[in-house]
């Protein structure tokens, strides 16, 4: 079945540091890939997505590139802010699937 493996946290960074959260997946066919963010006490919001190989999703300074050859979708941000403190989830939707399969989530804390 489909699965997502995500870098374990927690991750603690200083403001303006570079953030990378690794995500790899196992899926048949051509899944769509997503990063969701969950701020404290809130629900999940879509951060970015990519639907085919070599697509790059980007939003709010975050980027991730769909790499089929390495089955990866790593999230990066060049300069984090305190407001980026949240839990980040990598997820995939299989090509014949309705549901999302999520990684375990990575808690990121950015200190001023």
Partner 1 sequence: DTAVSQTPKYLVTQMGNDKSIKCEQNLGHDTMYWYKQDSKKFLKIMFSYNNKELIINETVPNRFSPKSPDKAHLNLHINSLELGDSAVYFCASNSPGARGETQYFGPGTRLLVL
List residues near partner 1 by CB under 8 A. Answer: 32, 34, 36, 38, 42-46, 49-52, 87, 89, 93, 95, 98-102, 104-105, 107
Q: Give the separation between CA 112 and CA 110, rounded to whole angstroms.
A: 7
Q: Give the separation between CA 46 and CA 49, rounded to whole angstroms.
A: 8
Q: Give the separation between CA 61 and CA 37, rounded to whole angstroms.
A: 13
What's the min distance (Å) between Cβ of 16 and partner 1?
A: 26
Considering the complex, state which of residue 44 and residue 79 has its C-beta at the smaller distance from partner 1.
44
Considering the complex, state which of residue 77 and residue 101 has its C-beta at the smaller distance from partner 1.
101
What's the min distance (Å) between Cβ of 99 and partner 1?
A: 4
Q: Give the separation between CA 61 and CA 78, rounded to whole angstroms.
A: 7
Q: Give the separation between CA 59 and CA 49, rounded to whole angstroms.
A: 9
Considering the complex, state which of residue 75 and residue 87 has its C-beta at the smaller distance from partner 1.
87
């Amino acid at each position: 079945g489909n699965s997502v493996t995500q870098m374990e946290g927690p991750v603690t960074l200083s403001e303006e540091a570079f953030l990378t959260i690794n995500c790899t997946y196992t899926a048949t066919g051509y899944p769509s890939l997503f990063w969701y963010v969950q701020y404290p006490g809130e629900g999940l919001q879509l951060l970015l997505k990519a639907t085919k190989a070599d697509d790059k999703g980007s939003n709010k300074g975050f980027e991730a590139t769909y790499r089929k050859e390495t089955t990866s979708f790593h999230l990066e941000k060049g300069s984090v802010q305190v407001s980026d403190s949240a839990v980040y989830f990598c997820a995939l939707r299989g090509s014949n699937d309705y549901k999302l399969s999520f990684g375990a989530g990575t808690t990121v804390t950015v200190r001023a």
